Structure 1
Amino acid sequence: MSTVFTKIIDGDIPGRFVWADDVCVAFSTIAPITDGHVLVVPREEVAQLTDAPDELVAHLSVVAKTVGAAQQAAWGAPRAALLVAGFEVAHLHLHVLPAWDESSLTFANARADVPGDELDAAAERLRTALRDAGHGAHVPAALGSAALAG
């Protein structure tokens, strides 16, 4: 059975995509801890980090680093944070978010009431920062699409 993330990647459920390549995608979470919080998710369904092949973990880490640098540029954050938990969905995903201090890095701070237009604006801000950093080939052409940019 497909995970909710596979359904988002396949377009069965809408997503706010900021990155897409042959191996993974990154899209906004609907419950961000900070503005710009995204999930880096492999296209392949892998249940958890420790089940993933090393090459996949390496690729996800490089994408998370790239997205994190764009988040720092877009929001002026001193750090990009990376969280790997995976209890809510059994499909490996890396939480990448702009961060100002360690005390805010808790899922207890996730906001489930962020209006869609604010999520859209944050995704577009990140997409712009990724393009500005030279990663336009991996920025999907439009929100809601996991297709590769062309």
Structure 2
Amino acid sequence: MSTIFTKIVRGEIPSYKVAEDSQFLAFLDVNPNAKGHVLCIPKKEIDKIWDLEEERYRALMRFVRCVATALEKTVPCKRVGMAVVGLEVPHVHVHLIPLNSMKDMDFSHKVKMEKEEFEQLASDIQSKMDL
């Protein structure tokens, strides 16, 4: 059975894409810890990050770095935090979260955003991408 992320990759579920290449996709988390919370995933459905082949893992981290750099240029923050938890969806995903305080990494703390805010933010991050 396909995960929600695989359905996003296939276009079956809409998302606010910020970056994409042949192997990976980055999109805004619709239930964000902080404004600008991005998820970076491999397009191939793999459950655990440690199950990625070495080269795909390294390629994912290069992609994540590019997205984080664009995110930091777009959303005012002290730094961009990274987390890999993997309990919510059995598909590798790296969280990139703009941080101004430790509570921004608290996954029980969420912020609300309107559709227009998501759309504008996705566009702003895309404009800063250097893939």
> Structure 2 length normalisation: TM-score?
0.92
Residue 75 of structure 1 corresponds to 75
The CA RMSD over aligned residues, in Å, is 1.4
C-alpha displacement of 1:84: 0.5
1-side partners of 2:68 and 2:101: how far apart?
15
Return the alpha-carbon distance in structure 2 between the equivalents of residues 64 and 110 of structure 1: 22
Distance of 1:27 and 1:104 partners within structure 2: 18
1:42 shift after superposition? 0.3
Map of 1:94 onto structure 2:
94
Structure 2: distance between partners of 1:76 and 1:15: 23
Displacement after TM superposition at 1:35 (Å): 1.2
Question: In structure 2, what is the equivalent of residue 117 of structure 1?
Answer: 116
Q: 1:127 is matched by which residue type in structure 2?
A: Q
CA displacement at 1:68 relative to structure 2: 1.0
> What code does the residue aligned with 2:115 have?
G
Aligned pairs for 1:4-15 within 5 A? 4-15=4-15
Q: Give % identity.
A: 29
Q: Which amino acid aligns with 1:52?
A: L
2:36 equivalent in structure 1: 36
Which sections of structure 1, spanning at least 5 residues, go unmatched? 139-150
Tell me the amino acid that sits aligned with residue 121 of structure 1: Q
**1:103 positional shift:** 3.5
Secondary structure of 2:13's counterpart equals coil
1:128 matched residue in structure 2: 127
Q: Which runs of 4+ in 1 moved over 6 A?
A: none
CA separation in 2, counterparts of 1:76 and 1:114?
A: 16
Separation (CA, whole Å) in 2 of partners of 1:20 and 1:108: 28
Letter aligned with residue 68 of structure 1: A
Paired letter, 1:11: G
- Counterpart of 1:76 in 2: which secondary structure? coil
Q: For 1:122 and 1:83, how far apart are their aligned partners in 2?
A: 21
Q: Which moved more, 1:1-10 or 1:48-57?
A: 48-57
- Asked if the contact 1:70–1:126 (Cα under 8 Å) also holds between the matched residues in 2, the reply is yes
Counterparts of 2:24 and 2:113, CA distance in 1: 25
Q: Secondary structure at the match of 1:109?
A: coil
Unaligned 5+ runs, structure 2 = none
Deviations 1:78-112 (A, max 9, x none): 2111110011100000011221233321111123x
Match of 2:3 in 1: 3
